Structure 1
Amino acid sequence: MRPAKSVSEMTAKISKIEQKERENAEKQVKALGKSVPEPVTAMNDIELTIFEKYAALNDNFNEFDSTALSLLVNSLYQYNELNVAIKELDILDDRRAGLVRQQATYDKAIQQHATALSLSLTNRLRMANEMAKVAIEEKKLANMEAPQVQEVNPLLAVLEARKHAK
């Protein structure tokens, strides 16, 4: 998939309406990037440290990424705690299998939350372009649904007036 371009970088000819809608959507998406993610769940000191490191890794994270980032950090912490507990148990211990299953569950959760956070700036610009397309289609539909005012042909109006005048 090609990287999305900002409206200002586009070389393709687009209509003024499409350009305006893309610029509006792009402003909305770029405005999201100016905030900082905050934890949405209670976290201990280790989790907060992990959260801050992850938040610093990507400049595109914003407050809307807070939930996915918080859940990712929580899952990572739980995964690590299970890993420590598994290592402390004897390899033949019956409790070990249950802990390994729980760890696999957290592994899947980690992958899901990491995927939710993978919206790069390019992906966010692509999303802005899609938002603009939707807005344009909505305007087209609104114009189609609006009552059509039929223009009166002045010659027909004169003929109708003469017809009724007789």
Structure 2
Amino acid sequence: MAQEKLLSQSRRKLSKAQISAKQEAENLVVTNATKPKANEITKYVKPMLKLFNQLKKLNDHFTEADSIALNTLTFNLHLKVLNEQHLVTLHITDDEYERYLVRLDKFNKQINESMKQLCIPLNSRLSLANDMAKVMIEEKKLAQMEKDGQPKELHPSLQLIEDLKAIDCW
């Protein structure tokens, strides 16, 4: 599946109707008015709250639905920093050195997993916004056709059949 892009990042040439429909759909789906909220643990640990706010500012498309993944990412990043600081104080021949390396590897995996969880909803929202924009454009086209009152053009073969039916030759 191709990765969807925001209208502002798209380089395709679009008509005015397509641009307005895509912008309206993005406003409804991608950038809704909610913001992620820090959980109780993150709120009361100053370095974690600072990190949470920095991550929240990195992408203004995060919504309240992303709060859990963002809090998990913040927690794991904070624990990774604490373990790295302790690892630096250890000597390479120390018995605990190897355990801290294993812990850091586990934190890296958890951090990657949290980042994937944050990425999937954004791609899903962009895809949904794109689909909604396509539907809006089709609705506008249908409304315009109805407004114009023009009958839909028939295929020449169907037109011939209709003409024959009209004169009772069929």
TM-score (norm 1): 0.60
Aligned residues: 121
After superposition, give the CA deviation of every residue in 1:108-135 in whole Å (9 maximum; x if it has no partner): 0001111111258664120355799xxx
CA distance in 2, matches of 1:120, 1:130: 15
Q: Corresponding residue for 1:126?
A: 127
Partner of 1:83: 84
C-alpha contact 1:4 1:123 (8 A) present in aligned 2: no
Asked if the contact 2:48/2:74 (under 8 Å) is kept, the reply is: yes
Q: Which residue of 2 aligns with 1:137?
A: none
In 1: Cα distance, 2:82 partner to 2:5 partner: 40
AA at the equivalent of 2:77: L
**Percent same amino acid at aligned positions?**
26
Match of 1:38 in 2: 37
User: What is the alpha-carbon distance in structure 1 between the residues aligned to residue 101 and residue 78 of structure 2?
Assistant: 15
- For residues 51 and 3 of structure 1, the distance between their equivalents in structure 2, rounded to whole angstroms, comes to 26
Amino acid at match of 2:96: R
Q: Deviations over 1:90-149 (max 9, x none)?
A: 1100111111111111100001111111258664120355799xxxxxxxxxxxxxxxxx
Please say if residues 82 and 99 of structure 1, whose CA atoms lie closer than 8 Å, have aligned partners that are also in contact.
Answer: yes
Closer, same or farther: CA 120–67 of 1 in aligned 2, 3 Å: closer
Root-mean-square deviation (Å): 3.2
Letter of the 1:9 counterpart: Q
Gaps of 5+ in 2: 8-16, 134-170
Give a deviation string over 1:1-28, Cα, whole Å, max 9, x none: 263688x527xxxxxxxx9xx9x98675
Instruction: Report whether the alignment pairs 1:71 with 2:76.
Output: no
Q: 1:106 corresponds to which residue?
A: 107
Task: Name the SS for the 1:35 alignment partner.
Answer: coil
TM-score with structure 2 length normalisation? 0.59
Residue 92 of structure 1 aligns with which residue?
93
Q: In structure 2, how many angstroms separate the alpha carbons of the residues matched to 1:5 and 1:121?
A: 10
> What is the match of residue 58 of structure 2?
57
**Structure 1 gap ranges (5+):** 11-18, 133-166
Question: Aligned with 1:68: secondary structure?
Answer: helix
Whether the aligned pair in 1 keeps the contact of 2:3 and 2:123 (CA below 8 Å) is no
